[in-house]
Amino acid sequence: MSQNDNLFKKIMRGEIPSSKVYEDDDVFAFNDISPVAPTHILIIPKAPIDSLDELTDDDATTAGKLLVAASKLAKKLGFSKDGYRCVINTGAQAGQTVPHLHLHLIAGRDFIWPPG
Ligand code: 5GP
């Protein structure tokens, strides 16, 4: 699947509806369609990066912005104090299903470790 056609590109372009929670020049964030916790947000770079495995030094700022967005959202949405989890599934064995880098921001319940 080319980057132009991946699901999250279509969501960013508004071709597939989503519930957007944050956007800036580099990052787009929206609610996951199948939440695994009371809060489940996907934070993605606008740049066409397929997965964490593709990152180079040139992507350091963009990658950092995903984490900054997660931190801002945690404060803005009020779960910063209780805690939250950030997950980036990378590759088939880790369960990545959409070929566009995305950070899961999940909160609102207890989480176990190690994850499944
Ligand atoms: P992955 O499994 O690749 O780490 O995460 C992909 C995520 O995308 C899943 O949590 C899945 O629920 C979510 N997802 C798949 N299709 C859609 C969609 O059409 N809209 C939204 N908002 N999320 C989706």
CA angle 21, 22, 26 (to 5 degrees): 150
Tell me, what's the pLDDT at 1? 46
User: Which is the catalytic residue, given 40, 100, 102, 104?
Assistant: 102
| CA count, 13 A, side-chain hemisphere, 115 | 11
47-102 tens-digit pLDDT: 999 999 999 999 999 999 999 999 999 999 999 999 999 999 999 999 999 999 99
**102 is an active site residue:** yes
Q: Is 30 in the pocket of ligand 1 (CB under 6 A)?
A: yes
Indicate whether residue 32 lines ligand 1 (CB < 6 A): yes
The best mutation among 39, 98, 106 to test binding of ligand 1, ranked by most ligand atoms within 8 Å of the C-beta, falls on 98
Instruction: State which CATH number among 3.40.50.300, 3.30.428.10, 3.30.750.24, 1.20.1290.10 fits the domain covering 3-107.
Output: 3.30.428.10
Q: What is the DSSP letter of 109?
A: S
Its pTM surpasses 0.95 = yes
- Kindly state the percentage of the chain with pLDDT values over 90: 95
pLDDT at 42 over 50: yes
pLDDT, average across residues 33-39:
98
Tell me the average pLDDT across 8-23: 97
- Name the residue at shortest CA distance from atom 1 of ligand 1: 96
